[in-house]
Amino acid sequence: MALTMSLKEELARVPVAATPERRAETAAMLRFAGGLHLVSGRVVVEAELDHGASARRLRASITELYGLATEIVVVSGGNLRRGQRYVIRVVRGGEDLARRTGLIDQRGRPVRGLAPALVTGTTADTAAVWRGALLAHGSLTEPGRSAALEVTTPGPEAALALVGAARRLDVAAKAREVRQADRVVVRDGEAIATLLTAVGAEQTAALWRERRERKEVRATANRLANFDDANLRRSAQAAVAAGAKVERALEILGDEVPEHLRYAGRLRLEHKQASLDELGRLADPPMTKDAVAGRIRRLLAMADKRAAERGVPGTDAPAED
């Protein structure tokens, strides 16, 4: 929730001078946070938001752009919803506002998607539509496996229209139904940063990129550490297994072991978890890793040959106590 509120706080302060952009943003906020009600034969426009500055921005836009008065009701959070909710209601002139913002068509029928003027506007208008949608019903989660920039929409038609608007901003978004609610989701990290920048949330975009890079660096470091740990465990397990084979080989051969092979075998038994390279450095005089490996290989081969001649288990069998 922290990133979501930070995003809405920044978007609510984005200056917009051009009237078409303000109209596009206002229409989007009413579409994604609002609804139409029929009260005593009169159309009432209502919008519910979870952010105070967003509610004030919407009220100011309705008054300045359309000259209409608004009512506002602050609803305290309950068991299911935390935090306050801000309900903005336009009673007088509600039908006119609904028609001018594309909530209803010229015949008074509800528009399920976005008004054609919003879908075919300029790039700046399209960015304003997304800004309004995010202010109305958007959320932004922390970078990571489940990271997403998401907008809950009033229906599939509005979701598809918002996906198309994202495409015009060169951002890939998907419409999906989650828990019986239609949503538009952007999951790609770079696409999220691009969209945040396009709607004017440059500080949030920079913060998002910084946190994303930090998590990626941490994840890479963890993967490398886990990889190194796994390699060390495998090497140690292989060394212990080799030590058991050497112990069996010395048992089979007894006094028949050539001294240089016995020496390599004793090195392995005395340092069971050491790598071949470490055994070579421990030898006196020092040997290469290949030299140690060659001597141990010959020791095991000699022991297996002798075991086969005697009809007894070879070096793969456990050593006897």
Over the stretch 141-180, which tens digit does the pLDDT of each residue have? Answer: 887 777 889 999 999 999 999 999 999 999 999 999 888 8
pLDDT classification of 30: cutoffs 50, 70, 90: very high
Quick one: CA dihedral 58, 148, 167, 155, positive or negative? negative
pLDDT classification of 235: cutoffs 50, 70, 90: low
Q: Provide the pLDDT for residue 140.
A: 92
Which of 150, 140, 152 lies closest to 211 in space, CA to CA? 140
Average confidence (pLDDT) over 41-70: 92
Domain residue ranges in the chain:
1-200, 228-310
Average confidence (pLDDT) over 101-122: 86
Average confidence (pLDDT) over 101-106: 87
Average confidence (pLDDT) over 95-117: 87
Average confidence (pLDDT) over 82-100: 88
Q: Provide the pLDDT for residue 156.
A: 92
- What tens digit of pLDDT does each residue of 238-259 get? 767 777 888 888 888 888 888 8
Average confidence (pLDDT) over 266-284: 84
pLDDT at 105 over 90: no
Q: Provide the pLDDT for residue 283.
A: 87
Q: Provide the pLDDT for residue 142.
A: 83
Domain at 1-200: CATH code:
3.10.28.10
Per cent of the chain over pLDDT 90 is 40
Q: Provide the pLDDT for residue 252.
A: 86
Which of 182, 131, 178, 189 lies closest to 155 in space, CA to CA? 182
Q: Provide the pLDDT for residue 232.
A: 60
pLDDT at 321 over 50: no
Determine what percent of the chain falls in helix, strand and coil, rounding each to the nearest 5. 60, 15, 30
Q: Tell me the C-alpha to C-alpha distance, in Å, between residue 280 and each of 230, 263, 295, 306.
A: 23, 12, 11, 27
- Please state, rounded to an integer, the average pLDDT across all residues of the chain: 86
pLDDT at 109 over 90: no
Q: Provide the pLDDT for residue 313.
A: 86
pTM (predicted TM-score)? 0.66
Q: How far apart are CA 65 and CA 96, in angstroms?
A: 12
Q: How far apart are CA 260 and CA 267, in angstroms?
A: 11
Q: How far apart are CA 102 and CA 119, in angstroms?
A: 11
Single-letter residue type at 154: P
Neighbours of 261 (CB within 10 A): 22
Q: How far apart are CA 272 and CA 7, in angstroms?
A: 58
pLDDT at 69 over 50: yes
